[in-house]
Amino acid sequence: MVVTAEERARLDPYTRIAESKDVPLLQKITDLQQVVKAAKTGMLVTRDSNDNLHSRAMTPANVSGESQLNLVFLANNISSKFEEIENDSHVNVSFFDPSSTDWASYSGRARVTQDKELIHKHWSMFVSGYIGNLGDGVHKGDEGDPRVAVIEIIPDEIKYWISEQTAISRGLQVAASVAMGKATAPGELRTIRKEEIQLARGSY
């Protein structure tokens, strides 16, 4: 079904009300980072050779940085997600913070590397707990382990929702809107578009 922009705005008042278009880019990035930090864990979605979508929980090794939009994950390159990224580099990473209902969705491509400086920069001992020391003198579960690789998410577009009210206030606003028969949006739906991402990349 093809819907015009005008008809979509009429039939989807929630999105029309929530969409924010006047927020400066740096403010968008700052607020996005707060959403990701609060959520802590994201769901990385990849596609296998049979077109099945698979998701798994992963915690980014990087979030902060004035203009930082790429996500970096450290993982075991023997796991199936690396085969899936090789099959199709298009990925999605989503975050959700149930305490605020804030969420974020990154759409883009994944790049895999074993750059030693990048691994060292983002290394955490928690990674060792996931890959283990095999006791063979090679696969020691440290940052020099040949299984350790970086998955860098290079976004093409990022959408996120940020709440403007407390849970009680949100509930009251929705209840009032129901009573009046009107749609409401107790927060803002923001998009960081490809050209904005490219602009941010140019600043770091």
Q: d(Cα 166, Cα 49) in Å, to the nearest integer?
A: 44
In the predicted model, what is the mean pLDDT of the chain? 86
Express each pLDDT in 157-201 by its tens digit. Answer: 999 999 875 554 555 444 445 445 555 556 899 999 999 999 998
Q: What pLDDT, on a 0 to 100 scale, did the predictor assign at position 168? A: 46
**Banded pLDDT at 8 (limits 50, 70, 90):** low
CA distances from 201 to 25, 68, 161 (A): 12, 8, 22
Q: Tell me the longest C-alpha to C-alpha distance in the chain.
A: 69
Express each pLDDT in 67-115 by its tens digit. Answer: 789 999 999 999 999 999 999 999 999 999 999 999 999 999 999 999 9
Q: What is the pTM of this model?
A: 0.85
Percent of the chain topping pLDDT 90: 69
Three-state SS across the chain? CCCCHHHHHHHCHHHHHHECCCCCHHHHHHHHHHHHHHHCCEEEEEECCCCCEEEEEECCCCCCCCCCCCEEEEEECCCHHHHHHHHCCEEEEEEEECCCCEEEEEEEEEEEECCHHHHHHHCCCHHHHHHCCCCCCCCCCCCCCCCEEEEEEEEEEEEEEEECCCHHHHHHHHHHHHHHCCCCCCEEEEEECHHHHHHHHCCC
Q: What pLDDT, on a 0 to 100 scale, did the predictor assign at position 86? A: 96
Q: d(Cα 40, Cα 33) in Å, to the nearest integer?
A: 10
User: Both tokens of residue 18?
Assistant: 């929530």
Please name every residue paired with 161 in a beta bridge, in sequence order, or none if there are none: 103, 189
**17 or 7: whose pLDDT is higher?**
7
Does residue 72 come out as left (phi exceeding 0), alpha (psi in the -120 to 50 range) or beta?
A: beta
Closest to 135 measured CA to CA, from 126, 125, 127, 145: 145
